[in-house]
Amino acid sequence: MPTSLLNQNSPSPYSTDIKSETHITSTNQLPQKLYAEVVVNIPLNKVFHYSVSPHLRENLTAGMRVKIPFGNKIIAGFCVGFTHTPFTDKTKDIIGVIDKIPLIDDLMLKITKWLSSHYCCGWGEAISAVIPPVVRSKKKEKWNGFVRRNEHTVTLDHDTLLNMKVRAPKQAKVLEILLEHPTEISAKELIRISGCKMPGLRQLEKKGFVILENKLPDAANTPRTIDRLQQHLTLTQEQQNAFDIINKKLEQPKPGIILLHGITGSGKTELYLQTITKALEYGRKAIYLVPEISLTPQTIQRIKARFDKVAVLHSNLLGTVHQSQWNDIKEGKVDIVVGARSSIFAPLKNVGLIIIDEEHENTYKQENIPRYNARDIAILRATCENALVIMGTATPSLESYSQALNGSYEKIVLSKRIGERQLPPVDIVDMGEEVRKRRGYNIISQRLQYYMNQSLARNEQVILFLNRRGFAPYIHCKRCGFVLKCHRCDIPMTFHKKFNTTLCHYCHAEAHPPESCPDCLANTMNYRGFGTEKIEDEIKNKFPNHTIIRMDSDSMRVRDAHEKALTAFERGEFQILLGTQMIAKGLDFPNVTLVGVISADTILNLPDFRASERTFQLISQVAGRTGRGTKGGRVVVQSFNPRHYSITYAAAHDYEGFARKELEYRKQLNYPPFGKLARIVFRSPQENKAKEKSSIVGDKLKELAKINGNHLEILGPSPAPMTKINNLFRWHILLKTQDHASIHTALHGVADMLKPTKSVQTMVDVDPYMML
């Protein structure tokens, strides 16, 4: 968790004292000579001053975009404040104001200022990241109206309707249709049935008979029946105890942070929904974050079954839908925002509750500039707005678990499943022993195949998990050992059978699979390993009478594919669901009685200090997809490392035991949560340039560490585990210390050296999640 910034006056997420270095105030309080403070979307954390002409003063407010001369170009910048004392006597004039209203408010200006300082990027880059591109582009949205009856229509008397049939028969027809079908109807469909055109519908709206709404076609805006809100479920005693604690927190002026550690199936979602109700009763609003787009449809359905005025934000929305949802939020038409990590920047006013579901997920970390963690931004925003944060998970991140141990977070435990259902037994299959017994490698072990046959014979469903897509992870020559690699990334190409091509999963380069070895010309090319595509073929061969659906980034490319696939599986159209980590969490299918983890080693063997933690989390999460109904369930985990503690503790459903063991290792090596990290990556088409630049910066950092004496440890420079991606060679340096202040001091000391040049690009990642 970040605790300091580059300058000493900057805040931590635990403090509300967020001070902008600019003076944000209204224009009518300023002296005659006015200068706007402007930032631009470049990797430079600097504020520029521009003169504001008298005719622009009334139209310009902090948070708006302005058109400015910048160098020899005219570009858009963000006005972040005003001053009467510019940095220089020679200032240029603002050319014009782009927006009619501010795109972001004072609070978001302050948060983006903190974000730019903590994650070492430009303030303009941070602001650009929190405003969706479709909002900045100002595309005109298409009107796709829906019509529903007003309360006045329900009480419409017979005589009035008869009179209307004489005076306006087509409008009367509309009312008759709405009386017979008390649902929202597409305006296009209603016009076709009734013959009443849009002017007639507008007249009915003015008379108070109908309500017209723009409901764009998307899962976020599925038409619903009137008065269909479901009631909350009855809480168990354990849930009720947790809810009482949460409610007391909500009533406090500074509610703080709750870590809701609940095993899978313990009813965390029901607690979220009932807490949202309480927040709304107190006149506050809520943000509900989910880690994966694939989880959003089920979450939306659950929330919209209980609440009105719900908006959805995530990157997979159609542009016009995204814009419409964002505008509704900004205009105060929404009480609850649901979405992925960027939803934390939603322009929602009066936020009193922020829920972070599956808080341990690495997808909350943004991998592009600015490289923020939505979990940290949520805590910062909640601190500013005096809101409660609930971080729910069955497998807390060790950073959050540590904060709960030291008392910074309040920890609430849900140790029982709803209905007293037991956690499923977990069988660990030693694949090394399997190979010896069966004299060869089989992707599906005998034990997994046996349990699959049992479940499928009872018309139950099975989930199979493998965190590797494609057919074969690499192609090699059995004669000379040649491995087909991407010429741009120097990593093995993955074979995709469906398209008969090899793909690089990093730069997306394609190549036709060779029939003979490019090195020795022998016809001995061999497809090694397996991905979800190969598993799909294997399952179809072993279980030809049963249907299977595959969910990975290859098969889920079409918009709304996630929702359609999960809906089909829920309806029982498919008996076997095979997928990557997108199916490992948050899904609730009572008829699933078996989960098979094809290989627990895919993540465990990664060169990353979080590999053990991620392995434990994934096995625990995917195991939680079974045994959620009355039929019970079972989990089979296949591994060549069956005795590794991350696997054995996951099989025993023992988070506390795993956390103690892993924290011991982390403490010895001063890795998070005990230490703070920053990573600098140097990229260049010429490896010697990347190596040279990293050496110069590394020497300077080591020199600064000696001078400051702040126990800053510099690891490297060394080649990155992925040494070449997209024709760029990569070297990296890891900074490790006790606090963020030391990291920021060191980065500030080499800031000029980290500016990108024509030959070398640099990337700074504070609190990195991926070390490859």
Interval 159-216: pLDDT, tens: 777 778 778 888 888 887 777 765 677 788 788 878 888 888 888 888 888 888 776 5
Q: Is 504 annotated as a binding residue?
A: yes
pLDDT value at residue 722: 85
Q: Is 196 annotated as a binding residue?
A: no
CATH code given to domain 237-400: 3.40.50.300
Q: Tell me where in the chain the CATH 3.30.70.600 domain(s) lie.
A: 676-766
Does residue 125 carry a pLDDT above 70? yes
Out of 59-68, 136-145, 202-211, give the one with best mean pLDDT. 59-68
Interval 288-332: pLDDT, tens: 999 876 556 677 888 988 998 999 887 777 777 788 888 899 999
Helix/strand/coil for 133: helix
Q: Is 121 annotated as a binding residue?
A: no
Confidence of residue 398 (pLDDT cuts 50, 70, 90): very high
Confidence of residue 132 (pLDDT cuts 50, 70, 90): confident
Confidence of residue 333 (pLDDT cuts 50, 70, 90): very high
Confidence of residue 139 (pLDDT cuts 50, 70, 90): low
pLDDT value at residue 677: 94
Tokens 């602001």 sit at which residue?
127
Q: Is 486 annotated as a binding residue?
A: yes
Average pLDDT of the segment spanning 455-473: 87
Does domain 426-470+530-666 correspond to CATH entry 3.40.50.261? no
Interval 627-669: pLDDT, tens: 777 788 899 999 999 999 999 999 999 999 999 999 999 999 9
Does residue 282 carry a pLDDT above 90? yes
Average pLDDT of the segment spanning 525-532: 80
Does residue 771 carry a pLDDT above 50? yes
The CA dihedral of 663, 669, 672, 678, to the nearest 10 degrees, is -170
pLDDT value at residue 29: 47
Interval 439-452: pLDDT, tens: 777 889 999 999 99
pLDDT value at residue 753: 92
- Strand ranges in 325-364 using DSSP code E only, listed in sequence order: 336-339, 351-357
- Strand ranges in 342-397 using DSSP code E only, listed in sequence order: 351-357, 388-393
The answer to whether the CB of 731 falls within 8 A of the CB of 690 is yes
- What CATH architecture does domain 27-131 belong to? 3-Layer(aba) Sandwich (3.40)
Tokens 């960027």 sit at which residue?
342
Does residue 696 carry a pLDDT above 90? yes
Interval 749-762: pLDDT, tens: 999 899 888 899 99
Query: What is the phi-psi region of residue 646: left when phi exceeds 0, alpha when psi lies from -120 to 50, beta otherwise?
Result: alpha
Does residue 93 carry a pLDDT above 50? yes
Interval 28-40: pLDDT, tens: 444 457 899 999 9
Cα–Cα nearest to 116, from 127, 106, 105: 127
pLDDT value at residue 679: 95
Does residue 153 carry a pLDDT above 80? no
Neighbouring-strand partners of residue 722: none
Average pLDDT of the segment spanning 227-241: 85
Helix/strand/coil for 132: coil
Contacts of 25 (CB under 8 A, 6+ apart): 81, 82
pLDDT value at residue 705: 87
pLDDT value at residue 675: 92
pLDDT value at residue 665: 93
Q: Over pLDDT 70: what percentage of the chain?
A: 89
| DSSP annotation string for 497-508 | TTTTEEE-TTT-
Does residue 226 carry a pLDDT above 60? no
For residue 464, the surrounding DSSP H or E stretch is strand 461-465
Interval 248-263: pLDDT, tens: 999 999 999 999 999 9
The answer to whether the CB of 347 falls within 8 A of the CB of 330 is yes
Say what angle helices 268-281 and 296-304 make with each other, to 10 degrees. Answer: 50
The answer to whether the CB of 381 falls within 8 A of the CB of 351 is yes
pLDDT value at residue 334: 94
Does residue 357 carry a pLDDT above 60? yes
Q: Over pLDDT 90: what percentage of the chain?
A: 47
CATH topology for 676-766 is Alpha-Beta Plaits (3.30.70)
- Strand ranges in 189-324 using DSSP code E only, listed in sequence order: 210-214, 257-262, 285-289, 310-313
Q: Tell me where in the chain the CATH 3.40.50.300 domain(s) lie.
A: 237-400, 426-470+530-666
Does residue 4 carry a pLDDT above 50? no
The pairs formed by 699-704 with CB atoms below 8 angstroms and a separation of 24 or more are 700/749, 700/750, 700/753, 701/733, 701/735, 701/746, 701/749, 701/750, 704/745, 704/746, 704/749, 704/750
Interval 404-450: pLDDT, tens: 999 999 999 999 988 888 888 999 999 999 888 877 778 899 999 99
pLDDT value at residue 522: 86
Mean pLDDT taken over the chain:
85
Contacts of 744 (CB under 8 A, 6+ apart): 4, 5, 6, 117, 118, 120
pLDDT value at residue 378: 97
Q: Tell me where in the chain the CATH 3.40.1440.60 domain(s) lie.
A: 27-131
Interval 489-502: pLDDT, tens: 777 888 877 778 88
Q: Is 520 annotated as a binding residue?
A: yes
Q: What is the pTM of this model?
A: 0.81
Tokens 């009443």 sit at which residue?
196
Out of 84-98, 271-285, 717-731, give the one with best mean pLDDT. 271-285
Q: Is 120 annotated as a binding residue?
A: no
Interval 555-595: pLDDT, tens: 776 666 777 888 888 888 999 999 887 776 667 788 999 99
For residue 639, the surrounding DSSP H or E stretch is strand 634-639
